[in-house]
Structure 1
Amino acid sequence: MDHFVAHLTTVFMSFFAIMNPIANVPIFLGLTANDDSATTKLIALRAVVIAFILVCIFTLAGHWIFQLFGITLPAFRLVGGVLVGTIGFQMLHGNQSSMHQLPSEDNDACREAVLSVSIFPLAMPILAGPGTIVTALNYAAHGGLLELFIILSSFAALCLITFVFFVFGQRFVAVIGSGALGVITRIMGLILAVIGAQMIIEGIQGAFPNVLS
């Protein structure tokens, strides 16, 4: 039981760190600045639901994706570790990762479409970005129904938390202030960097088992 709770917490914190719903609040507020309360809530709901569906697809179909493209788990962990670690490194310096950042040239088009921001860029790539998908696939590679349950339940809980942050974003930023938001972003970045390093270590161990044994 203790192991289950510990692993569940680890998976949840991995998703929390890489999706970082707290740091994404200002992005959401900027994309919905001109929308009324009802529209804002609808955008937030659609964004988290679509993000959850995307992660479900990659989590459940991860094994077949590996087979289809001839991907080995050690190679995936190595590249995934570099990817996750890069996001963490950028966040440590107080920067929003380019893998989760809305390109400036898409800004105007997304705002004009209003509800379309729930799909792009909120659901993808801000919430269910490459780093989030890599993390889900990495845990899913361990296999087992229990592991799938842990992954999907953890991400579902995080989507619910993200929805609350988005809906009450204005109040949240006003309470903690921009300085505290920057500190939180850097802490999440440190956690991500460590997770990335661990994935790289596991990838090297898997690729060279005889050398490192």
Structure 2
Amino acid sequence: MTVLFLKAFTLTLLGLLPMVNPPTTATLLLGLTRGMSAQQVSEQINKTAVYLFITLCITLFAGTSVLSFFGLTLPSLRLAGGLVIAVIGFRMLFPSPVGQQSSQVSGVIAFVPLTIPSLCGPGTMALVLSGAVEIAALSPETPRLPLWAGMVAAFAALSAISWGILRLATPVCRFMGESGIDALTRIMGFLLICMGMQFGITAVRDVVAGF
């Protein structure tokens, strides 16, 4: 039992950590929280860690059922995620005037885009879903509870790691200053547009390959 738990925990954590890539989300956080107070930024970071854990658990236990119920496919998730990322990238690359930004920074960014699609994008969801399918396909003699528990524990560890890395974004923000953050925001905006386009290309390629 313990061996199965540790195996599931290790494989899940090592497999998802590069996909989640918290440092990338930390740089995105720097651009999206301009004008927010330290307390607001801290609240968004705390919510992001909680949302990440909940989203991963829902994907593990109900992801395939939700996709089947709504008739959704992974390419559709990739395409939708790509569109969301591209829109956010355009807003960061071409920011609104200062008078309009103050009304935008008060919005909640913890779930979209920090959790979805930045931390938990289509690739991360696909990896979690594949793990759920593999566990379901095991022989009846294999206990599943340690495997589920190991994956959930890995989700908790991953959320804690992401929380710690996002907390480091605030000191970096102070170090870079206003001009540095503005430059980084525009660079990240351009990269997000590229990421969104790549998600769309991958989705179209998967659809074509299916035919």
Instruction: Please give the alpha-carbon distance, in whole angstroms, between the structure 2 residues aligned to 1:210 and 1:56.
Output: 27
Conserved? CA contact 1:51–1:127, under 8 Å? no
What's 1:111 paired with? Answer: none
Residue number in structure 2 paired with 1:84: 85
Where in structure 2 are the equivalents of 1:179-198 lying within 5 Å?
A: 179-198=179-198
Deviations 1:86-133 (A, max 9, x none): 22222222459xxxx9994995xxxxxxxxxxxx825344633x5337
Q: Which amino acid aligns with 1:144?
A: G
* Equivalent residue in structure 2 for 1:123, among 86, 107, 110: 110
Query: Which of 21, 26, 50 in structure 2 is aligned with 1:12?
Result: 21
1:140 alignment partner in structure 2:
125
**What's the secondary structure of 1:121's corresponding residue?**
coil
What are the within-5 Å matches in structure 2 for residues 130-169 of structure 1?
130-132=116-118, 135-142=120-127, 143-144=130-131, 152=155, 156-165=160-169, 169=170
Shift of 1:49: 3.6
> Which has more radius of gyration?
2
Distance 1:47 1:64 in 2: 26
The alignment of Structure 1 onto Structure 2 pairs a total of residues equal to 175
Task: Give 1:180 deviation, angstroms.
Answer: 0.4
Distance 1:79 1:69, change over 3 A: same
CA distance in 1, matches of 2:173, 2:194: 27
* Partner AA of 1:199 in structure 2: F
Answer whether contact 2:93 2:189 (CA < 8 A) is retained. yes
Cα deviation for residue 5 of structure 1 reads 8.1
Q: For residue 72 of structure 2, give the secondary structure of its aligned residue in structure 1.
A: coil
- The unaligned stretches of length 5 or more in structure 1 are 33-39, 108-119
Structure 1 CA distance, aligned partners of 2:18 and 2:158? 8
AA aligned to 1:181 is I
Secondary structure in 2 matching 1:26: coil
What TM-score, normalized by structure 1, do the two folds share? 0.60
1:174–1:76 CA distance, 2 compared to 1 (3 A) = closer
Instruction: Give the Cα separation in 2 of the matches to 1:103 and 1:85.
Output: 22
SS at match of 1:20: helix
The runs of 5 or more residues in structure 2 that have no matched partner are 1-12, 135-150
Q: Which amino acid aligns with 2:197?
A: A
CA spacing shift, 1:160–1:204, aligned 2, 3 Å: same
Given that residues 35 and 105 in structure 2 are in contact (C-alpha distance below 8 angstroms), is that contact kept between their aligned partners in structure 1?
no
Q: Distance in 1 between matches of 2:105 and 2:35?
A: 14
Which secondary structure state, in structure 2, belongs to the residue aligned with residue 175 of structure 1?
Answer: helix
Give me the whole-angstrom Cα distance separating, in 2, the residues matched to 1:183 and 1:209. Answer: 39
Residues 1:70 and 1:50: Cα distance change in structure 2 (over 3 Å): same
Q: 1:47 to 1:103 in 2, by over 3 A?
A: farther
Q: CA RMSD in A?
A: 4.2
Q: 1:55 to 1:183 in 2, by over 3 A?
A: farther
What are the Cα deviations for residues 61-103 of structure 1, in whole angstroms up to 9, with x where unaligned?
Answer: 432221121102222222222221222222222459xxxx999
Letter in 1 for 2:191: I
User: 8 Å contact 2:92–2:185 — kept in the other structure?
Assistant: yes
